[in-house]
Amino acid sequence: MVRPDLNLLVTLDVLLAEGSVARAAKRLKLSPSAMSRTLTRLREATGDPLLVRAGRGLVPTPRAQELRGQVGQLVQDAEAVLRPAERVDITRLTRTFTLRTSEGFVETFGPPLLARVAAEAPGVRLRFVPKLDKESALLRDGEVDLETGVVGRGSGPEVRAQALFRDRFVGVVRAGHALARGKVTAARYASAEHVAVSRRGVGKSPLDQGLEASGIERQVRTVVSGFSTALALARGTDLVASVPEQHTAGLRGGMHTFALPFDMPGITVSLQWHPRMDTDPAHRWLRGCVRETCAVGARSTTA
């Protein structure tokens, strides 16, 4: 089946509104011959003469009168679709956004982000869900609006990503722990008992790979799936937790934090979203809120 030329709708709308081939041609800035050819195409497409001569003028056929209202609305709807998005009044926006984040993000950056959103857009609600893997299917399917975390191999190639802040791993122990006193050397760190973090509970983390590169092997007493659980265990035991510094700032209150005594590459925490949301004004506003909130939080953490 041959698809119709939708450009003809605009010409048909003007032609029916003017009721004159000459006036329609002038309005469309077409030559009389070009307008005549277009009218022929319209008649072929609709199977109707549309305008017929009556005396010195032209009158619409019943089919043309029937189409007049429909075509006008179709053209208006098409123009609305193709028109650039209007600016959104954020103060009156009513919408729920879903953010998928790794452990520690909500505790650290959630309070200032919620405060900013409440001040600028009281009708906006944020829904935080845990990030259990690096797959981007939820972004692609529209179930999640934004994600934060380290971009991994599971992220789809089409997903947009923008760096939020650089982070580094640090060691954390309870107040009063032996490592809270004196310089933490590689030997002291390795001799302590550790809680390791592995999302699936198996395999070696980037931290363990960094340890191996430095010729250090730590004693892992237990393995958990997230940073908050690791810190909770370290708070109540003599276990050492090694976690991202800025990402977990909201979880480490009252605990002792120390720099790791070996070289460990930093990580980049990014904001991720699907490209179909690029030009959505409300989504763009929220992305700005998250970026600026994280920038302020990262500065205060490293100050």
Query: Do residues 142 and 111 make contact, with C-beta atoms less than 8 angstroms apart?
Result: no
- The CA–CA distances, whole Å, from 258 to 104, 160, 173, 177 equal 18, 34, 9, 12
Half-sphere exposure in the Cβ direction for 59 (13 Å, CA): 6
Where does residue 48 rank: exposed (0-12), middle (13-18), buried (19+ CB within 10 A)? middle
In whole angstroms, give the CA distance from residue 61 to residue 72. Answer: 17
The pLDDT tens digits of the residues spanning 194-215 come to 999 887 655 566 777 777 777 8
CB neighbourhood size of 270 (10 A): 18
160 and 276 share one domain: yes
Domain containing residue 72:
7-82
Residue finishing a domain among 58, 82, 106: 82
Assigned domain for 286 exists: yes
**How far apart are the C-alpha atoms of 85 and 83, rounded to whole Å?**
6
For 62-106, write each residue's pLDDT tens digit. 888 888 778 877 877 777 667 666 678 999 999 999 999 987 899
In a domain, 175, yes or no: yes
Residues in the chain: 303
Q: Looking at the structure, do residues 275 and 261 belong to the same domain, yes or no?
A: no
**Per-residue model confidence (pLDDT) at position 298:** 61
Token pair of 28 as six digits:
């469309």
> What pLDDT, in 10s, does the model give residues 103-152?
789 999 999 999 999 999 999 999 999 887 777 788 888 899 999 988 86
Same domain? For 30 and 109 the reply is: no
- Please check whether residues 156 and 17 belong to one and the same domain: no
Number of neighbouring beta carbons within 10 Å of residue 73: 11
Q: Are residues 148 and 177 located together in one domain of the fold?
A: no
Question: In this structure, how many other beta carbons lie within 10 angstroms of the beta carbon of residue 271?
Answer: 20
- Number of separate domains in the chain: 3
Asked if residue 262 lies in contact with residue 214, where contact means CB atoms within 8 angstroms, the answer is yes
Looking at the structure, do residues 174 and 254 belong to the same domain, yes or no? yes
